[in-house]
Amino acid sequence: MNIFSRIRRIPFWSWVWFILGALYFLLPLYATANFSLRMERDVIGFKAYVRAFEDPDFLKTFMYSNMLAFMTILASIILIVPTAYWIRLRLPEARRVVEFITLLPFVVPAIILVFGLIRIYSSPIKIPFTNTTLLQPLTTFEIGTDILIVAGYVVLGLPYMYRSVDTGMRTVDVRTLTEAAQSLGASWFTIIVKVILPNIRAALLSGALLTFAIVVGEVTLASFLGVPAFGPYLFLLGQHRAYEPAALSFASFLLTWLAMGLIQLFTGGQGQASGAH
């Protein structure tokens, strides 16, 4: 073997790019972690973490965001799974329209969405040209605002959730499964609950974890709609304190890592991205 084939073996530039990338990605993480451990002067300790987690507001907002995430996931599944299923089975004509709708959230980023949501739902909904009020402004009710933000999150997660569920259904060929179940005498309810849902579990989990990651850290919708969520709390914390926000930021990175790692586990390989906020 001559020397040229040996040199070809070592991909010099590949290593260069990779190492540069690793540096860029890891330095901020290191800086944050490092900073978060130095709350006590000259001591490396978890004081910042302890302080942060002990703050009653932390628990309150974190739990609230978790609840929002849970409601969003539930609402998404209830909305999307039957729709995707119906389109595969009976209404392929609707596919293009529905897929177009799932692309719209790209065109309407969070800040725009919240703008429109607020303007519409902070005034009473009337029947046009009359004085009859259908609904008082949602924003006057606390639960109204909750509904609004969950709906907003469902919209933001629509592209990923729908694509995930649709791909999962295509992979297991729900059409054939349904026909088999029907020929064995199952009702619609049984089919959806016992046949379809279990088989798209991986897709649902993956979509759910992604939704979770998006919702818990979300700031735009939460702060403009004035809900006590974790995102605005973290932002506010950053205005007053130094070490605790760093601690929570690093912790939130670990949490996101956990969620993504679980997704990898269930889907085996393809990463999922949700983009900027």
The answer to whether the CB of 257 falls within 8 A of the CB of 206 is: no
Among 26, 225, 24, residue whose Cα is nearest residue 215 = 225
Q: Which of 67, 79, 177, 202 binds another protein (CB under 8 A)?
A: 79
Name residues whose C-beta falls within 8 Å of residue 227's C-beta, 6 or more positions apart in sequence.
Answer: 64, 68, 145, 146, 149
The answer to whether the CB of 221 falls within 8 A of the CB of 113 is: yes
- Write the interaction track for another protein spanning residues 25-64; mark x where CB under 8 A is met and - where it is not: x-xxxxxx-xx-----------------------------
Least distance CB 86 / another protein (angstroms): 4
* Alpha-carbon gap, residue 264 to 223, rounded angstroms: 31
Site residues (CB under 8 A) for another protein, limited to 112-131: 112-120
Site residues (CB under 8 A) for another protein, limited to 140-179: 151-152, 154-155, 175, 178-179
Site residues (CB under 8 A) for another protein, limited to 175-234: 175, 178-179, 182, 185, 187-188, 210, 213-214, 217-220, 224, 231, 234
The answer to whether the CB of 191 falls within 8 A of the CB of 182 is: yes
114/168 with CB nearer another protein? 114
Q: What are phi and psi of 41, to 5 degrees?
A: -55, 130
168/211 with CB nearer another protein? 211
Q: Which of 69, 110, 203, 227 binds another protein (CB under 8 A)?
A: 110
Q: Which of 39, 71, 73, 80 binds another protein (CB under 8 A)?
A: 80
SS3 133: strand
